[in-house]
Every structure is written in C-alpha cells, then in structure tokens.
C-alpha cells in the first residue's frame, strides 16, 4: 500500500485554506453589510429629524408654508441636505437654492405624501440622469384638511458609497493578505503533520529491510498524538532490535545447549562400541548418556512450551493440587543434584502442614514451575550454599517462595529476567526461557510472580496462587 504524502499534504492545506477563506469571506460580507446599515441609518435618522420639525404643523396657506419652511432651512443651513417644495401637480416650485424650476417629478415618496398615506417612508434610489444615489423622504403640506403640496428632503449617498467602496477595497485587500498568511501557515502546519509521518515511513521501510538499529529524531516533535505515535514507533523499533538480539543470543545459546549433550552422547556411544570396555566404564557411559538425554528432553520440552505460549495454545488441566506434597516431592527429586554441589536444600512451611489444604490448579504445570525455580537456584548457588522452598497459605491465596544465597542478579536486570530469551550470563547453561515460561504459567493461574535479588547476596522468587482458581477464571 502506497502512502501518498503529497496528497495528504495537499488535502490538509486545501481544507485549512477553504475553512479560512469561508471565514474571511463571511466576515467581509457581514462587515460591509453592517457598515452600510450604519451609514444609511445615520442618513435615515437625519431625514426623520427634518420631518419631525414640520409634520405636526397645519399651515394657513400654501405660501405661508413655503416661507416658513424656507426660513427654517435658512436657520438650519446644511449643504448636504437637499430640499424641494412641490405643488400638488408634482411641479418643483422651490429647491434648496430658491430657484423655481417648474420641473415635474414623479418619485414614490412624493406620490406617497400627496396621497396622504399615514407614515412617511424613506426611499432610496438612483437618478439615472445625474447618476446620483439618493435617500429621500416627503411630507405633505396641509392647509386646513387639504394637501396643497409636498416638502421633499433628500441626501446624496454618493459620498457614503465612495467611502463604502474604499472600505470594501481595503477589506478585500486585507482579506487577500490574511488568506496569504493563512496559506503559508497552513503549509507550515501541514509540514508539521507530514514530516513525522515521512520519518515513520522511512523507518518502516528500514524495518522491512531488516535494519532495526535506527533512531527517530525527537527534537522537533510536539507533545500531541503524532508525537506520541512517533515516540511509540521509536520505542517499538528499539524493542524489535532488542528482541532480535535476544533471539540471536537465544539461538546461539540453544545451539550450544543442544551441541553439548549431543557431543557427549555421540562420544560415549562410540566409546561403548569398543571391545574390551570395563563394567565401570560401561555404567559411567550409560549414566552420562541417560543424563544428557534427559537434558535434551527438558530443553525440547521448554522449546515446545515456549512455542505453545507464543501461540496461546497452552491449556491448563485444572484439578485439586496438594501443594504441601508438591513442595516436598520437588525438594526430594532435586535433592541429589543439590548434594552434588554440597548445597543445603530444604522445605519450610510458614503455615502448619496439617492445616494446608488442596488448591485448584494444574499440578504438572505448577510442578514444572517449582522445579525450574529450584534448579535455577541450585545452578546459581555456589558450593556450601542453601536453597529454601517456603510455603504459606491463607484463606484466599497460597504463596510459594524459593530463596537462595547464590550469585544474585544485577539491579538493572531485575525487570528483564522474566523476559523471553534473556540471560544475564550467556556463558551459563540454559535456554533463557525457563523463567519466562514459569511466569506465563503463573499468570494462567491468575497469580503473580515477584523477583527480588541483590548481586552477591542471593535471590528470592515468590509466586502467589488463588486457592479457588475456577472462581477466579469465572470472574
């Protein structure tokens, strides 16, 4: 499967840019709209103030009305305000310059005022002849109850429109600049996302080619999900490399473990085939062949158990287990090996033996665990030392511990001893998977194994088991 990084970068930039562009466009439209409403609102308010000055006046004659209106406008002279007095024939009699134009007009606001409609509507329109944009309002001039004409106030919106156009252009240019800045930022943002993924891609290709000794650069990583992914991938690469080395050392160790007994068996088989061999030599050779064969069988069984654990195929045969008898049987079985090294091997019960009850578990697997722990303790304990198997039991749990005063384990290796293939000293015999298998068997029993050790002081390995395993599995 191909990872199209450029396509991903393009999509990030595109959607980020579209989002910002829509936001900027909406802002500009809303800004222009509200600015237009603001300026037009000021003009409307100003026109309404002019209307309020004369709307309630009922004049005695049309001429008086004209004179009164003109006097008012002379007092409140505003060059931005246009005024026209129109008779009921829609002819302009006077404008703001006092000229009688006689021009006949036909505007909606004038028609509305002449018809005497209640309320005064403000109209906005364009005058094609002068190309003016005008806002106007007309008020009827009443003499008695009769409408004799109209006074029309108007304001040119050309200047407002010019200001709006300049502001619109400024906003548009500002929007373009914002979009440009956002585009550059989106490129930077996309690069911050894509660069770690590109590094991951290169690392994955290196791993696929078998190069596990690689390190990802964490200098520019952010503290986010992608940063966590890169760090996790980096950790995975290191763990794969570590596991690869452990497997190589494991294969080397297992090869040595297989070669040694096979060499002994082959050598003694050839020796026993010679004529004239003595009875003592025959017994010695057969004993060695038998011991080395047992050693090979144990190694093969460990490898088979490891394979089953790796594929999750180990199944417990749960039954009742007499743990007190189990501890004593293992000690008795390995007593000969302990005496060969002048090591004291004994059993201690922290709970009275007669009070210890049977627990639920796989007797053969628990025996395998205990044998493995005791054999290791004997192997790593010097002559004259001791190995003690202790057993205690409570209402819910049963605890085994195997303690020795052997060579111990370095502090930095304590967390790794239970890992598959790990051996602190690869010159020692063993496959390096016995403790790992034992730990997995204890986990299958819903128990826990704890290892404590000091270099040169000895080791104590404790594992705790549920007394009622079936209930624990059901939970």
Confirm whether 443 is domain-assigned: yes
Q: Are residues 344 and 441 in the same domain?
A: yes
- Across 132-141, b (16+ Cβ under 10 Å) vs e yields ebbbbbbbbb
Across 76-80, 96-100, 464-468, 470-474, least confident range: 76-80
Q: Find where tokens 């010097």 sit.
A: 382
Q: Are residues 281 and 335 in the same domain?
A: no
The domain of 290 spans 225-294
Q: Are residues 377 and 459 in the same domain?
A: yes
Whichever domain contains 269, its CATH number is: 1.10.287.130
Average pLDDT, integer, range 234-246 = 74
Confirm whether 364 is domain-assigned: yes
Confirm whether 198 is domain-assigned: no
Q: Are residues 330 and 249 in the same domain?
A: no
- Tell which of 110, 132, 162 closes a domain: 162
Contact present, 381 and 447 (Cβ < 8 Å):
no
Q: Are residues 275 and 379 in the same domain?
A: no
Q: Are residues 282 and 350 in the same domain?
A: no
Provide the strand spans (E) within 280-343: 319-321
The three-state secondary structure class of 354 is helix
Q: Are residues 124 and 252 in the same domain?
A: no
Contact present, 202 and 211 (Cβ < 8 Å):
no
Contact present, 212 and 42 (Cβ < 8 Å):
no
Proportion of the chain above pLDDT 70, given as a percent: 82
Q: Are residues 282 and 143 in the same domain?
A: no
Element (H, E) at 383: none
Confirm whether 202 is domain-assigned: no
Confirm whether 195 is domain-assigned: no
How many structural domains comprise the chain? Answer: 3
For 269-305, the pLDDT digits (tens) are 888 877 777 888 888 888 888 878 877 887 777 777 7
- Predicted TM-score (pTM) of this structure: 0.48
For 154-176, the pLDDT digits (tens) are 888 888 888 888 888 888 898 88
Q: Are residues 354 and 283 in the same domain?
A: no
222 pLDDT tier (thresholds 50, 70, 90): low
């Amino acid at each position: 499967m191909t990872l199209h990084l450029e396509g991903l970068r393009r999509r990030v930039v595109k959607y980020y840019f579209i989002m910002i562009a829509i936001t900027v466009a909406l802002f500009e439209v809303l800004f222009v709209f509200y600015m237009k409403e603001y300026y037009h609102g000021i003009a409307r308010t100003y026109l309404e103030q002019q209307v309020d000055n004369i709307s309630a006046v009922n004049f005695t004659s049309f001429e008086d009305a004209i004179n009164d209106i003109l006097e008012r406008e002379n007092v409140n002279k505003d060059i931005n305000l246009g005024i026209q007095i129109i008779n009921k024939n829609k002819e302009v009699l006077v404008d703001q310059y006092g000229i009688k134009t006689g021009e006949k007009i036909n505007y909606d606001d004038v028609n509305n005022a002449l018809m005497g409609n209640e309320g005064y509507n403000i109209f906005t329109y364009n005058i094609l002849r002068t190309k003016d944009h005008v806002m106007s309002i007309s008020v009827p001039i009443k003499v008695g109850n009769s409408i004799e004409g109209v006074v029309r106030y108007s304001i040119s919106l050309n200047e407002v429109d010019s200001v709006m156009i300049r502001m619109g252009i400024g906003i548009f240019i500002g929007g373009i600049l914002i979009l440009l800045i956002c585009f550059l930022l989106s490129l930077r943002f996309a690069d911050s996302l894509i660069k770690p993924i590109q590094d991951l891609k290169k690392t994955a290709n290196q791993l696929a080619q078998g190069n596990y000794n690689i390190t990802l650069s964490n200098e520019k990583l952010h503290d986010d999900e992608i940063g966590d992914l890169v760090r996790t991938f980096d950790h995975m690469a290191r763990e794969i490399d570590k596991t690869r080395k452990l497997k190589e050392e494991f294969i080397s160790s297992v090869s040595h473990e297989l070669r040694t007994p096979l060499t002994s068996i082959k050598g003694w088989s050839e020796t026993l085939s010679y004529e004239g061999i003595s009875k003592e030599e025959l017994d010695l050779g057969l004993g060695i062949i038998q011991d080395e064969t047992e050693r090979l069988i144990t190694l093969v069984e460990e490898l088979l158990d490891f394979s089953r654990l790796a594929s999750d195929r180990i199944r417990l045969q749960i039954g009742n287990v007499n743990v007190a008898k189990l501890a004593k049987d293992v000690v008795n079985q390995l007593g000969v090996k302990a005496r060969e090294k002048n090591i004291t091997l004994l059993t201690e019960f922290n709970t009275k033996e007669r009070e210890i009850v049977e627990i639920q578990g796989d007797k053969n697997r628990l025996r395998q665990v205990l044998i493995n722990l005791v054999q290791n303790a004997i192997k790593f304990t010097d002559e004259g030392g001791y190995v003690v198997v202790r057993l205690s039991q409570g209402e819910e749990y049963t605890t085994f511990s195997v303690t020795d005063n052997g060579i111990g384990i370095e502090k930095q290796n304590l967390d790794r001893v239970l890992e598959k293939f790990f051996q602190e000293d690869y010159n020692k015999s063993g496959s390096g998977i016995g403790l790992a298998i034992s730990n997995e068997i204890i986990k299958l029993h819903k128990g826990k194994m704890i290892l404590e050790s000091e270099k040169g002081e000895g080791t104590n390995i404790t594992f705790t088991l549920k007394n009622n395993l079936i209930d624990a599995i059901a939970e």
